[in-house]
Amino acid sequence: MAGSSRRRVVVSGRVQGVFFRDSVRRHALDRGLAGWVCNREDGKVEAVFEGAPDDVEALVAFCRSGPEGAAVEGVEVGDEEPTGEQGFSVR
């Protein structure tokens, strides 16, 4: 998708049970991004953001600190080819 960016992030630290997923969802919707966010069994949060490059980068930046109550220890970021994903969901 021309002009579109897609990035996958995996966030580690105290990121489950602190409204991380819902905070990411709200920020993504505010910026018109598509994708999803989920808790992983290993205690990390994984998300995919797709949309305008500046908005995607803003969500990646948010994940580096997270919502109040989170204690982010690490963020792995990878680029992916946009797929034309629609909507944003919490899985």
Q: Sort strands 71-80 and 45-51 into parallel, antiparallel or unpaired.
A: unpaired
Mean pLDDT of 21-32: 97
Average pLDDT, the chain: 96
Q: Is 91 a catalytic residue?
A: no
Residue of 6, 7, 21, 25 marked active site: 21
Q: Is 14 a catalytic residue?
A: no
For domain 5-74, the CATH class is alpha beta
Residue 3 has what pLDDT? 80
State the CB neighbour count (10 A cutoff) for residue 68.
Answer: 8
Q: 30-51 in b/e burial notation, b at 16+ Cβ within 10 A?
A: ebebbbbbebeeeebbbbbbbb
Residue of 26, 39, 64, 91 marked active site: 39
Residue 31 has what pLDDT? 97
Domain boundaries along the sequence of the chain: 5-74
